[in-house]
């Protein structure tokens, strides 16, 4: 099976020297689980100054990314390949989330286009399959968003994260936030690890973790509970949590 390929078209390829040379992404590249390629957009500019932007027609503040180098770059990067899903990192795009990260991780070929300035010439949008945003805020460029997306996606690739269960228990994987985690020492500054985690009773531990996952979601992101399908057992746990909160009990 061929490894997935992710191309990133950017004005600042040097931005990725940090994010892509540490931790999970570095491991994914080292294990040849993914083929990551950076492309300098200015390489497709026609003039000696390698101009990639110009003033907007109709006036207004800021600059707009020119269509010629973008179109040439997209055609060149895609040449000889059957299907390349092209994504433009834009504040107008759909919000990136765990479900999207998992979906895109299954693509064999992705091309991430990092926007800058006031965006790109609208005529290039015909070559874009999807617009993606990290949230309702504006970044200086698409590079931070591309780095985040790659980090989130490569976690799903086989062999990248040693313990597959770790990925499947991440926050948002099942629609809920993660449960609390503890490690040594058993007691720290008067704060103790919950006794159930020391019991060795795996059924009790699993129930506690599920309940605390629901509790975290209820307290921090109640909107998520409206989107996830809770089992009858989950609903009973939620009722317990609500009763405990009304009575002021601690978990």
Q: Which of 56, 67, 91, 180 is catalytic?
A: 91
Same domain, residue pair 225 and 125: no
Q: Which of 4, 155, 212, 215 is catalytic?
A: 155
> Smallest Cα–Cα separation from 97: which of 147, 143, 152?
152
Same domain, residue pair 175 and 239: yes
Same domain, residue pair 77 and 28: yes
> pLDDT tens string for the chain (251 positions)?
689 999 999 999 999 999 999 999 999 999 999 999 999 999 999 999 999 999 999 998 899 999 999 999 999 999 999 899 999 999 999 999 999 999 999 999 999 999 988 889 999 999 999 999 999 998 999 999 999 999 999 999 998 986 555 555 555 568 899 999 999 999 999 999 999 999 999 999 999 999 999 999 999 999 999 989 999 999 999 999 999 999 987 66
Same domain, residue pair 189 and 156: no
Active site residue 118: yes
Q: Which of 118, 121, 151, 178 is catalytic?
A: 118
Mark which of 147, 163, 179 sits at the end of a domain: 163
214: domain CATH number? 1.10.1270.20
Could you give the number of structural domains in the chain? 2
Alpha carbon 251 to chain centroid, angstroms = 31
> Smallest Cα–Cα separation from 12: which of 148, 184, 197, 141?
141
Same domain, residue pair 114 and 147: yes
Q: Which of 50, 68, 130, 170 is catalytic?
A: 170
Same domain, residue pair 216 and 230: yes
Same domain, residue pair 121 and 42: yes
Same domain, residue pair 138 and 175: no
Active site residue 170: yes
Same domain, residue pair 16 and 116: yes
Find the domain containing 130 and state its range.
Answer: 5-163
Same domain, residue pair 210 and 104: no
Active site residue 123: no
Same domain, residue pair 31 and 130: yes
């Amino acid at each position: 099976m061929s490894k997935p390929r992710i191309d990133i078209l950017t004005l600042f390829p040097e931005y990725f020297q940090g994010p892509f040379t540490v931790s999970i992404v570095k491991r994914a590249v080292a294990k040849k689980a993914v083929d990551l390629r950076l492309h300098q957009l200015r390489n497709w500019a026609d003039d000696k100054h390698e101009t990639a932007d110009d003033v907007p027609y109709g006036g207004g503040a800021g600059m707009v990314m020119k269509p010629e180098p973008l179109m040439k770059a997209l055609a060149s990067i895609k040449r000889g390949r059957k299907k390349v899903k092209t994504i433009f990192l834009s504040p107008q795009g759909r919000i990136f989330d765990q479900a999207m990260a998992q979906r895109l991780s299954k693509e064999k070929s992705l091309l991430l286009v990092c926007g800058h300035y006031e965006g790109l010439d609208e005529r290039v949008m015909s070559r874009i399959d999807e617009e993606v945003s990290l949230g309702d805020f504006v970044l200086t460029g698409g590079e931070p968003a591309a780095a985040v997306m790659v980090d989130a996606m490569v976690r799903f690739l086989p062999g990248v994260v040693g313990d597959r269960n770790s990925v499947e228990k991440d926050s948002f994987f099942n629609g809920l936030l993660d449960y609390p985690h503890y490690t040594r020492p058993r007691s720290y500054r008067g704060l103790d690890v919950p006794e159930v985690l020391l019991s060795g009773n795996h059924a009790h531990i699993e129930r506690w973790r599920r309940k605390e996952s629901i509790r975290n979601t209820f307290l921090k992101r109640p909107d998520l509970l409206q989107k996830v399908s809770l089992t009858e057992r989950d609903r009973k746990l939620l009722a317990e949590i609500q009763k405990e909160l009304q009575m002021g009990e601690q978990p």
